Amino acid sequence: MTETETQAVKTAFFKYHVEAGARMVEFAGFMMPVQYQGITAEHLAVREKVGLFDLSHMGEFEVTGGDSLAFLQHVTTNNVAALEVGQIQYSCMTKADGGIVDDLLIYRLADRYLLVVNAANIARDFSWLKSHLDGDVRLVDRSGQVSLLAIQGPDAEKLLSELTTYNLADMAFYTSATAEIAGCEVLFSRTGYTGEDGFELYIPPQHTDTLWKAITEVGKRYDLQLIGLGARDSLRLEMKMALYGNDIDESTNPIEAGLGWIVDLDTDFVGRNVIAQTKAEKPKRRLVCLEVQGRAFPRHGYDLLVDGKPVGKVTSGTFSPSLQKPIALGYVPRRYAKAGSELEVAIRNKRFAAHVVKPPFYKDGSHR
């Protein structure tokens, strides 16, 4: 056994993954299932029916105190003041130079805010946020006490409605509620990273076994499949949802990444001036969606070419299980960023034709 395996954290659902025959890998310091039956089958199960994901590696921070709103306005790019209790916002944190520290979800709850951040960035995000604390604000890392399960797919509402009396039919996308699910009181939201309808459940330690068993038991009637990180990646990629560390990082800013819609320049946040300037001058490069021709498998780091010369790099790529063709995200100079622009992807010793398409790649998702 290697050092990383012995140090990696096992989530509350580890034993269920092993029982189900998952291939476990170390990811961001956690032992996570990368696949069970196979990435393609899992991907299609979420598109067609419903799947269950263990996302307990994600980080959760609580923000409380009278100056919480002012603090969050300062450290995130979107307008937190627009959030009503029960609403959720996608946002990001940026450095003074506009580079992205992380992308995150902000939940406004009755008595606090909850920030959900990427597993690989938990420690770094926490210290970055801590360095900006000001006034009456308390920031607490709850990551170790919260397990996260996601139920995603067109049948997610039907499945979950068998376990709760809460009115899911009227629950809007990007809202949260606290209610009893399988007799356990949990915070949950209508959110996801797949393009499908779905829910995410934030589960305290005493309820993890009850909820896993209840969901998988009811799930049998809906052909619920367990979904690993492999299919999570291809599902999000088909929707052009950015993956931190691949498509966005400290060297990219939200405007280049096509995340201008989560930046509110009327708020005063760290990095605002640089980002406002990028927006005004238009970014030099943009993250675009590419469809690739032929028997190609674009991967992170491959060169994008125009007239045989490198102009950018692939940041994420896969063979799309839904579209049955190779797809990629990558940064290209602005003049090649329009839909229809023609480029090539260099894959080892060959070049494959590619063209820019409008996001998302997959247009039939069930989320509203």
Partner 1 sequence: MNIPTELKYTKEHEWIKLDGTTATVGITDWAQGELGDIVFVELPEVGDKIERTKPFGTIEAVKAVSDLFAPLSGEVVEINAALEDDPMVINRDAFGDGWMVRIECSDLSELDQLLDSAGYESIING
**Residues making contact with partner 1 (CB under 8 A):** 23, 34-35, 38-40, 230, 234, 295, 297, 299, 318-319, 348
Q: How far is the CB of 297 from partner 1 (least distance, A)?
A: 4
Q: How far is the CB of 296 from partner 1 (least distance, A)?
A: 8
Q: How far is the CB of 38 from partner 1 (least distance, A)?
A: 5
Cβ neighbors of 31 (< 8 A, separation 6 or more) are 5, 8, 9, 10, 11, 14, 24, 25
For residues 226 and 298, give the distance between their C-alpha atoms in angstroms, rounded to a whole number: 26
**Which CB atom, from 95 or from 299, has the smaller least distance to partner 1?**
299
Q: How far is the CB of 231 from partner 1 (least distance, A)?
A: 9
**Which CB atom, from 35 or from 194, has the smaller least distance to partner 1?**
35
Q: Which residues pair with 313 in a beta bridge?
A: 303, 331
Of the candidates 247, 233, 196, the one whose C-alpha atom is nearest the C-alpha of residue 363 is 196
Supply 163's token pair.
């376990």
Would you say 43 and 235 are in contact if contact means Cβ atoms under 8 Å apart?
yes
Angle separating helix axes 229-238 and 39-48, nearest 10 degrees: 60
Q: How far is the CB of 49 from partner 1 (least distance, A)?
A: 19
Q: How far is the CB of 236 from partner 1 (least distance, A)?
A: 14
The one-letter amino acid code at 241 reads: M
**Which CB atom, from 44 or from 133, has the smaller least distance to partner 1?**
44
**Which CB atom, from 127 or from 324, has the smaller least distance to partner 1?**
324
Q: How far is the CB of 295 from partner 1 (least distance, A)?
A: 5
**Which CB atom, from 129 or from 327, has the smaller least distance to partner 1?**
327
**Which CB atom, from 18 or from 172, has the smaller least distance to partner 1?**
18
Element (H, E) at 147: strand 147-152
Residues in the chain: 368
CA distances 140 to 155, 284, 319, 326, Å, are 35, 38, 40, 42
The one-letter amino acid code at 29 reads: G
Would you say 313 and 345 are in contact if contact means Cβ atoms under 8 Å apart?
no
Q: How far is the CB of 301 from partner 1 (least distance, A)?
A: 12
For residues 153 and 245, give the distance between their C-alpha atoms in angstroms, rounded to a whole number: 26
For residues 368 and 365, give the distance between their C-alpha atoms in angstroms, rounded to a whole number: 8
Of the candidates 297, 331, 339, the one whose C-alpha atom is nearest the C-alpha of residue 315 is 331
Would you say 228 and 215 are in contact if contact means Cβ atoms under 8 Å apart?
no
**Which CB atom, from 40 or from 273, has the smaller least distance to partner 1?**
40
Would you say 224 and 181 are in contact if contact means Cβ atoms under 8 Å apart?
no
**Which CB atom, from 121 or from 320, has the smaller least distance to partner 1?**
320
**Which CB atom, from 98 or from 321, has the smaller least distance to partner 1?**
321
Q: How far is the CB of 83 from partner 1 (least distance, A)?
A: 38
